[in-house]
Chain A
Amino acid sequence: MNLRVSAKAIGKMLAATSLWLAACAALQAQDLVVSKATLAQPGGQLVVSLRSEPKTLNPILSVDANSREVIGMMNADLVHINRDTQSTEPALAKAWKISRDGRTYTVYLRRGVKFSDGATFTADDVVFSFQLYLDEKLHSPQRDLLMVGDKPITVKKLDDYTVEFDLSKPYGPGERMFDGLAILPRHLLDVPYQQGRLAQVWSTTARPDELAGLGPFQLKEYVPGQRFVLERNPNYWKTDSSGVRLPYLSTLTFLFVPTEDAQVVKFQGGETQMLERVNADNFAVLRRNESTNGECLRDLGPGLEFIFLLFNLNPLDATKSPDIAAKQVWFRDLRFRQAISLAVDRKGMARLVYDGRATPIWGNVTPGDKLWLNSNLAHPERSIEQSRALLESAGFSWNANGDLLDTQKKPVSFTILVSSSNAQRSKMATIAQDDLKQLGMDVQVVPLEFRALVDRILNTKQYDAALMNLVNGDVDPTPEMNLWLSSGQTHLWDLGEAKPATPWEAELDRLMEAQMTATSFETRKKLYDQAQAIVAENLPFVFLLSPNILVGAQSTVGNFHPAILEPYGLWNADQLFISPAGSPLCK
């Protein structure tokens, strides 16, 4: 043992201490978020699969889920929805104030925050970012979200760290609107924006030094056709409770693996550490080997996806499409839709198609959305007898073969479209087909390529019925505005209504508009409960199932707390870490 301490060594120690002190002082000058997650050592590499290559790294232009996932890792928003608690929490805004009338939001920004390239973040970046989102010429998909009462919100800089947002109307969801709106570096993007080249910058082939963001990771490398490698952003604005800068991971790699089966094989082989979403069949396969492979598999229960049967109620020209128009006489009859809803075997679908990992639903809000679900809605049990009675009361009859005939004595037969790339929904349609055969209906399932299906539903409107799904991005009713408003772009059963086609659709419009501008949760909940009741009563969709969110990670992944909101497993990527010794962390 050597106890001799040289002056040189003491000098080094002092220097180190003073550096450390300086670092502490610097930390205090910055408003850093201190995370409550389990403490860990920095380092470690996480690899996850991505279904296809992101199309862009430009947050203004991104529409596809894969781009958004990668962009989300490199950028940050003012206010963030915590995927676990489903409520908002401060992000780049350390605090915000909403005026009494609900129309002015004053947002106080975090000081001393730096972009990944070292530039300081100020109110100018915020104002600039919203200017881009709101610029009509850029056609940003986020623009719609920032239109309150048909007018864009206005953004004003009060000082370097205070920004004011003015809305033309009170906005029910409040600060939730800021979630997912990346704040962009003005110093890098202002020039291309002025030159009108914004759509061309930050493509997937951009060099790492052309990008800068406020998220936990920054671009390191892109290998076309193979992977995106992100590395930790040393300037990220969160630390753990011991003062260590997040994120813990040194790199986060997205591998492009086009099929889910291939993703599962890679996960089982240890090539990837996380499966962000897996279907029930593969989940069962993984479960069988769980104890030997030591993976950590989680069934989070129903998510925000709902699967439903849609009937074509668009007003069609009877001379141009006489076949469909004739069938619409049945579809428009509520008793016909109710009879179908009573006859389909939701439990059978959940068991046969989802291995029991799905929940039957009778309304648009899934049980995963605990905050907004109207739990008083009726859940009528499956009953072929009641269903037949309903059809009989609507004037339908049966011939000697048991075929169902309408009032004109024409046999009831129609087609159900499904996307041929989704095995689960095709199977559900096959079950529905068999159920409806018991009512004497002759149903044919027609698998179509997804784009052809969407074209028929949104554009040509040449279809009888379709079995499809919708996924909400948030628990709040806001994302559903487009679906339920009679003028909405995704008012699927009857697109582009000039005015509500039925009294209940008019009432639905009123309730949805009212909940958007009400500011207290109780009022909004009451209005939205009524809207859910109207939907369940009038069945524009026959709701079927909500599949469970199934996620997996290797047991060496720490702080793995998947949530039912996207990104399911990576929402807390800044806290994830890999056990250095390879020892199991989960369970």
Chain B
Amino acid sequence: MKKNRHNALLIGLIVSLHLFVIFPGFLAPYDYASQNREIPFAPPTRIHFFDSTGKFHLRPFVYAWKQDSGPDSGYEQDRSRAFAVRFLVSGAPYRVIGGWTSQLHLFGVDLPGQIFLFGTDDFGRDEFSRVLYGGRISVLAGLLGTSIALFAGSVAGVISGYYGRWIDSLVMRLVELFLALPWLYLLFAVRAVLPLRIRTTDAFLLLVGVIGIVGWARPARLIRGIVLSSRERNFVLAARAMGASDFHILRKHVLPQAYPIVLTMAAYLVPQFILAEVTLSFLGLGVGEPIPSWGNLLAELQNYSVLTSYWWMYLPATALVALFLIYHWASSALQEHTSVSA
């Protein structure tokens, strides 16, 4: 009973999280590319309920940031004018799906005020909107890339481990080849033959493709090891003695041994692949400015001055952490589920 409630909560979280990142336009108050050149690196907007006279307002309000005087200094709130926070407001147009556009946003403030829940980046762009839009590419590329890598890796690993002999040698030499290839230079070469302008959808597919191709070898090796060991287990030998088909043995006896490993691998490959996208962007193979991805949002933190000066630039990491925790939870729930049923 309690467990079911847990699982319902988990499924609800996963679904809503993916809705957030697949349809960021509604939740994000601004377009990811709109710059406010007067307020680079402004801290998150403070939301107030009490005005300067101490009076309580049920509808929260915000103040605008203004640069305080003198060089090398920060921002202060311009208390001369308050902007009320409103829900379901009309703002910058965005595309929902295909040609359908909308202007409706979940929240916003009275114009010309602005609300930056996660502060602004170096161009004065709303970091919160960028995190939401960034998830669209990172989460999907991470998930798809991981699925491809794990699927290809599992198939290769199972075939190699179960059938052994020359098939095993062949697949494993291939795996070693893939692990040994100097990927950086190959990717340079890939970049050189591609046209300079890559459309975002192509860049996305490219990301998924590269991640999948580079990533399948390690899971394959691991899964082969598991299959190899379980092949000789007594229950497998018994099943075989009773005349079970290869497919049946694999499905019923060998693969269940590999589930937990595959799930654990998935939980740690997704973040790795989201970060791999930064490297690919560096080589000109990922998505470029001004389109955000969690990888390039986090890449800002590699900058020493950002790291030491603007704490809100860490906030994209919280989205990533939340997502990974949920995935981790999901993977352990699944693991529990499979081990009970097996």
Contacts and interface: CB of A to CB of B under 8 A. Distances in A.
Interface string A394-431: 00000000000000000001010100100100110111
Contacts of A430: 123, 289-290
A576 B274 CA distance: 49
23 contacts: A261-B303, A281-B305, A281-B306, A282-B305, A351-B37, A352-B37, A413-B197, A417-B196, A426-B289, A427-B122, A429-B289, A430-B290, A433-B289, A434-B35, A444-B197, A444-B288, A445-B289, A448-B284, A449-B282, A452-B188, A452-B191, A452-B192, A463-B196
Contact of B288 (A353, A423, A446): A446
Given A352-B122, A434-B33, A452-B191, A287 B72 contact: yes
B284 A447 contact: yes
A444 B203 CA distance: 13
A417 B33 CA distance: 19
Given A348-B37, A434-B33, A444-B197, A285 B288 contact: no
Contacts of A452: 188, 191-192, 284
Interface residues of A, number: 40
B70 to A, nearest CB: 12
A413 B124 CA distance: 25
Interface residues on B, range: 20 to 34
Interface in A420-475: 420, 423, 426-427, 429-431, 433-434, 444-449, 452, 462-464
B284 A446 contact: yes
Contact of A285 (B124, B196, B304): B304
Contacts of B283: 420, 448-449
A447 B281 contact: yes
A23 interface: no
A285 B122 contact: no
B309 interface: yes
Contacts of A415: 196-197
Contact of B305 (A284, A345, A420, A445): A284
B283 to A, nearest CB: 6
Nearest to A283: B305
B188 to A, nearest CB: 7
Interface string B101-137: 0000000000000000000001110000000000000
A464 B309 contact: no
A229 B37 CA distance: 46
Q: Which of B197, B303, B304, B306 has the most CB of A within 10 A?
A: B304
Interface SS, A side = helix
A226 B104 CA distance: 58
A265 B326 CA distance: 36
A552 to B, nearest CB: 14
Nearest to B35: A434
Contacts of B35: 431, 434
Contacts of A446: 196-197, 284, 288
Contacts, number: 87
A356 interface: yes
Contacts of B71: 356
A361 B284 CA distance: 29
User: A-B pairs with the 6 shortest C-beta distances?
Assistant: A281-B305, A261-B304, A430-B289, A415-B196, A285-B305, A348-B37
B308 A420 contact: no
Given A285-B305, A288-B72, 17 more contacts: A261-B304, A281-B304, A282-B305, A284-B72, A287-B72, A288-B309, A348-B37, A353-B122, A413-B197, A431-B35, A433-B290, A434-B33, A434-B290, A446-B284, A452-B188, A452-B284, A463-B196
Q: Which of A265, A282, A430, A463 has the most CB of B within 10 A?
A: A430
A571 B123 CA distance: 36
Interface string B189-205: 00110011100000000
A264 interface: yes
B260 interface: no
Contacts of B72: 284, 287-288, 355
A281 B289 contact: no
Contacts of B124: 352
Interface string A345-378: 1001001110110000000000000000000000
B44 interface: no
Interface string B2-43: 000000000000000000000000000000010101001000
B289 A352 contact: no
A423 B309 CA distance: 17
B195 to A, nearest CB: 8
A447 B304 contact: no
Contact of B304 (A265, A352, A353, A449): A265
B177 to A, nearest CB: 24
A261 B35 CA distance: 27
Nearest to A416: B196
Interface string A463-504: 110000000000000000000000000000000000000000
A417 B35 CA distance: 21
A433 B197 CA distance: 14
Contacts of A348: 37
Interface string A561-579: 0000000000000000000
